[in-house]
Structure 1
């Protein structure tokens, strides 16, 4: 019997790559997406469960699987307020992690951000740091935290700032060597490969991966 992968945030930049790669991965015979609205995807391994993220407790019984991948994330601009941003980037992932533990998941893997710290003066980074801290306190069977730098790839939503930054990094990436290598932009497909590799190879209780480590793990 193969494993079951649960993917939350499977319509985002990394999430889409993760779904695609998990469906082709030999270790998984079932891939479950938690989605607000069903997507036009069809695959014998794939299941889509429509949920209301504001009512996650209603779906606890269904979240049974081996590896849980969380790619939830938004921007403060899109969320509309700091409170709404915290709900999506902190509260929802934390609730999903608690549920994963309760249902006996083997591993929980999540994307946060480079610079995540509870001591950060930047609200975005501080929320990500608080999430990491609270996840560590849960006592999950295995917790893998990925902190990528600027993500590149084909987004379904328009983020002009990230689009311009991605173009800039295409020019300067080769200059970022040695200790600066971790600041290079990284493709979403590489992050997805790194997450799948870690889920199937690592046995560590708690691990945090910087962007340069992610790039190594996600080599094709």
Structure 2
């Protein structure tokens, strides 16, 4: 049976890993990326659709209908430059994608948010993440999978000294995140991508929240079903 994947956010840390893994899997016959700038890669099963994300609502129905929709959009306050721009990327675009999934009947929507996300958070970042989770749930999609990683490990093109220090420290101290602290354990971008594919292929419930420690165990399951 034909299975299609659509990725929005393919140029990011997790999205880039997702593209590679999906193209190496026999489970998907076609992988479509919606990007503002074309990727410097080609593959017989890869389709690239260039689109300004402000026009995301004009995505054709045939692209969404029956597909697994992967949303790995995300930025930082530093990159965004303002709260308005941050909300545009981390709330407005994912919500528009969610409405498309509802309108055109996507098979599943999978999205990466963050640990600690809550509409009641005193931190703007976590509050926005919490709002997008809450409002996507309200759409009552056929299947919504929300991945809430702790610190994401992986190669970044741009990192400050402080960010590099925190990431390296987390890598060395990851063995401390056990028991009640396991949900705070850092995860790799590749691990998140593996978990997303694993859950897309095996999860049949309408709403599933996957915490950081569950992302790690879910990623391991992909090895058993990987083609």
- The interval holding the TM-score normalised by the smaller chain is over 0.9
Alignment match, 2:39: 39
Alignment match, 1:18: 18
1:203-218 matches, within 5 Å, as: 203-218=204-219
Preserved contact between residue 63 and residue 99 of structure 1 (Cα < 8 Å): no
Query: When the two structures are aligned, how many residues end up with a matched partner?
Result: 220
Alignment match, 2:7: 7
Preserved contact between residue 183 and residue 211 of structure 2 (Cα < 8 Å): yes
1-structure distance, mates of 2:20, 2:109: 19
Preserved contact between residue 67 and residue 105 of structure 1 (Cα < 8 Å): yes
Preserved contact between residue 90 and residue 127 of structure 1 (Cα < 8 Å): yes
Alpha-carbon spacing, 1:74–1:42, altered in 2? closer, same or farther (3 Å): same
Gaps of 5+ in 1: none
Gaps of 5+ in 2: none
Give how far 1:212 is off: 0.3
Give how far 1:3 is off: 0.5
1-structure distance, mates of 2:89, 2:115: 18
Alignment match, 1:138: 139
- Structure 1 stretches of at least 4 aligned residues deviating more than 4 Å after TM superposition: none
Matched, 1:182 2:183: yes
2-structure distance, mates of 1:189, 1:46: 19
Alignment match, 2:124: 123
2-structure distance, mates of 1:34, 1:53: 8
Preserved contact between residue 60 and residue 99 of structure 1 (Cα < 8 Å): no
Give how far 1:55 is off: 1.6
| RMSD after superposition | 1.3
2-structure distance, mates of 1:156, 1:133: 31
Please give the TM-score of this superposition, normalised by the length of structure 2: 0.93
2-structure distance, mates of 1:33, 1:142: 20
Give how far 1:155 is off: 1.9
